[in-house]
Chain A
C-alpha cells in the first residue's frame, strides 16, 4: 500500500512538472508568412481591436500566457493582449479530436434573433 501511495505521488508530481513545463514553453516564434505587423486585441470578451505593432519592433519569442479559443493571451509592454491564432506561428499543440458538433442545419424559427443567440 505504501509503495502504491509513493508511486501515485511520484506520478502526480511528474504530471504537474510536465504541465508546468508545457505551459511555460508555449511561445510565439514569428508572425504568419507575409505579415508585417502583429494585431493586438483586448483580452476581454469583446475582443476589440486595440493596436498593431510593426514586426521590426517585436522581440521573439513572445511567451504565451494562455491558449484561448484558437488565439493567445500575451503580455507586451506590461499589458495583456489577445493575439489571433492564424496571425502567428506558435509552438502550441494541435488537437486532433473534434470538440464541436459538425451538424449542418438550418433552423426555421418564427422569431428574429435577439441580442445573444444560441451557441454550442
Chain B
C-alpha cells in the first residue's frame, strides 16, 4: 500500500511540473501545436458558419490600379469615395484598417486639399449616427487632428507568437484607454453582451467552414489530409477562400448585376446593417497574418475573426486561462491535479510491482491488451475534461491539449520504474552507509 501511494505521489509531482510549467518551452510548444491541429480539423464542427453581421471590404491591386493608377498610398479622396459609396448602403458600423500616416498635401490655388472630402464623408457618417473606428497610433492622431470627434481611435498592433509567428492571441486593449478594434466594436454594437469591460486576451478560434457568400472567390485548395499532418506535421502555407464574408472595393465602386434591383439587393445583403471592416490586400504591403490553421491572410481578417468570436461567444470567448475559478492560478493548479489524480491512481494500481511472495502475473498478451485499454480510457478521460474546459470554462484548446498527458504515459511508467528502483536501493544504500560509518567510528 505504501508503494502504491509513493507511485501516486510521484506521478502527481510529475503531472504538476508538466501541466503548470513548460520546461524549455517544450510543453507550451506542444500545447500550441495541438491547439492549432484542433482548430484546423475540428473548426467546422465546433464553430459552424460565420456571423451574418460582419463583412470585409477589401481593397485589392485591381481597384488601386483602376482608380489610383496603382499608386500607394492611395489618396485620401479615394478613401473618401469608397466610404461614401459604402454610406449609401447604411452599414451598422465601419472599421478602417489603414494607418493614415501620409501628410496631407498643401492645397493648390482654390482647389480643396486631399483629405477634405474624406472629412466631409466622415461628417456624413457622424450625422447618420454610424460609428467609424480608425486604426491609430499616436502618429496618426497627430497627423489627423481634424478627425477627433469623427472617428474612434482603436489600437492597430498585432500580436504574434515569437516562436512560430502565428497570430493566435488578440489583446482586449493595448493601454487602459486604447482598446483593440474587435473588442471596442463588439462592446459598442452589442452592449448587452458585455456587462464588464473584458481584459483577458482572446485566443482567436478560426472558423473553417465554407462561406456561401464567398463562393465567387477562387483560391488554392487547402491540403487537409489529417493522416499526413498527424504523421509529418503541418507543411506549407496557403491562402484559402476566407471564412469571413468578403466584398472587394472593385465591386463596390463598379457594381455588376443583371438589373439595378438585383444590384441593390446584393449590396443590401452584404452591407446594410452590417459591421464593415475596410482593409487591404495589396502586393508589397505586408499587412499579412499567419493563422493557426496555417493560412496566410490580410491582417484585417484577424480583426474580423476576433469580432466574429466575440459576437458568437460574448464575454465567454476562449482564452488561455478561461473564466471563473480557472482564471485563478492556484485554483487552476489544483484543478489540473484533481483531473490527474484518478489517472495517477489508475496507473499506480495497474503498473504496481507485486509485493514479495505474490505470484508474478502473466506478462504476455493480456498485459499489452490491458495497457491499450488503459491508454484508451485515459484518452477518453482527458478528451472529456478538455471538452468541459473548452465549453464551460472557455479555456482555449491549447490547454485541452495540455491534458493529453497520456502522451507522456511512458514518462509516468518510467517514473514508476524509478520509484521501484529507488525503493529497492535506498534502504540498501542506507544500510551500507550506516555500517560503513559505524565501522569507521568503531575503529577510532
Binding site for B on A (CB under 8 A): 32-35, 39, 41, 45-52, 69-71, 84-87, 89, 94-96, 98, 100-109, 111-120
Cβ contacts under 8 Å, B149 to chain A: none
B440 at the interface (CB under 8 A from A): no
In the assembled complex, 18 residue pairs joining A and B whose CB atoms fall closer than 8 Å, in A order, are A46-B69, A48-B75, A48-B114, A69-B254, A85-B254, A86-B253, A86-B255, A87-B85, A94-B259, A94-B262, A104-B217, A104-B239, A104-B246, A105-B219, A108-B288, A116-B69, A117-B64, A119-B66
Specify which of A33, A50, A69, A70 lies most central, judged by the most chain B CB atoms within 10 Å of its CB.
A70
Please, what's the 1-or-0 string for B46-85, where 1 marks a CB less than 8 Å from any CB in chain A? 0000000000000001101111111110010110110011
The prevalent SS among residues of A at the interface is: loop
Measured in the bound complex, the distance between the Cα atoms of B103 and A78 in whole Å is 33
Inter-chain contacts of A116 with B (CB < 8 A):
69-72
Q: Is B242 an interface residue (CB 8 A)?
A: yes
Instruction: Identify the closest chain B residue to A90 (Cβ).
Output: B260
Of A69, A85, A96, A109, which is within 8 A of B257 by CB? A96
Contacts of B117 in A (CB 8 A): 39, 49
Q: Which B residues have a C-beta under 8 Å from some C-beta of A? A: 61-62, 64-72, 75, 77-78, 80-81, 84-85, 88, 111-112, 114, 116-117, 120, 128, 216-220, 239, 241-242, 246, 250, 252-260, 262-263, 281-286, 288, 296-298
Given contacts A71-B253, A87-B84, A100-B250, contact A117 B284 (CB under 8 A): yes
- Asked if residues B288 and A106 are in contact (CB atoms below 8 Å), the reply is yes
A117 touching B241 in the complex, CB below 8 Å, given contacts A106-B297, A108-B288: no
A48 to B112 Cα, complex, angstroms = 9
Report yes or no: A51 in contact with B61, Cβ–Cβ below 8 A: no
Whether A98 lies near B62 (C-beta < 8 A) is: no
* Interface residue from A34, A95, A106 paired with B281 (Cβ < 8 Å): A106
Q: How far is the CB of A92 from chain B (nearest CB, A)?
A: 9
Closest to A109 in B: B284
Contact B283 A113 (CB under 8 A): yes
B301 to chain A, nearest CB (A): 10
Which 4 residue pairs spanning A and B have beta carbons closest together?
A: A119-B65, A70-B254, A113-B284, A49-B117
Q: Which chain A positions have C-beta within 8 A of B285?
A: 113
Please measure, in the bound complex, the distance between the C-alpha atom of A86 and the C-alpha atom of B252, giving whole angstroms. Answer: 8
Cβ contacts under 8 Å, A107 to chain B: 283
Q: Is the CB of A49 within 8 A of B283?
A: no
Q: What residue in chain B is nearest A103 (Cβ atoms)?
A: B218
Cβ contacts under 8 Å, B62 to chain A = 100-101, 119-120
Inter-chain CA distance A85–B250, complex, in Å, is: 12
Contact B258 A117 (CB under 8 A): no
CA distance A120 to B65 in the complex (A): 7
How far, in Å, is B231 (CB) from chain A's closest CB?
Answer: 27
Q: Are A104 and B288 in contact (CB under 8 A)?
A: no
Q: How far is the CA of A119 from the CA of B241 in the complex (A)?
A: 20
Bound-complex Cα distance A98 to B241 (A): 18
User: Complex formed: what's the CA distance from A89 to B261 in Å?
Assistant: 11
Q: How far is the CB of A84 from chain B (nearest CB, A)?
A: 5
By the criterion CB–CB under 8 Å, are B77 and A70 in contact?
A: no
B288 touches A47 (CB 8 A): no
B274 CB, min distance to chain A CBs, angstroms: 16
- Closest CB in chain B relative to A118 CB, distance in Å: 5
Q: A49–B80 contact, CB under 8 A? A: yes
Which residue on B lies nearest to A70, using beta carbons? Answer: B254
- Known contacts: A48-B111, A94-B258. The answer to whether A113 contacts B77 by CB under 8 A is no
Find chain B residues with CB under 8 A from A102 CB.
216-218
Contact, CB under 8 Å: A108 / B296: yes
- Given A106-B296, A120-B61, are A115 and B85 neighbors across the interface (CB < 8 Å)? no
Which of A47, A101, A106 makes the CB contact (< 8 A) with B67? A47
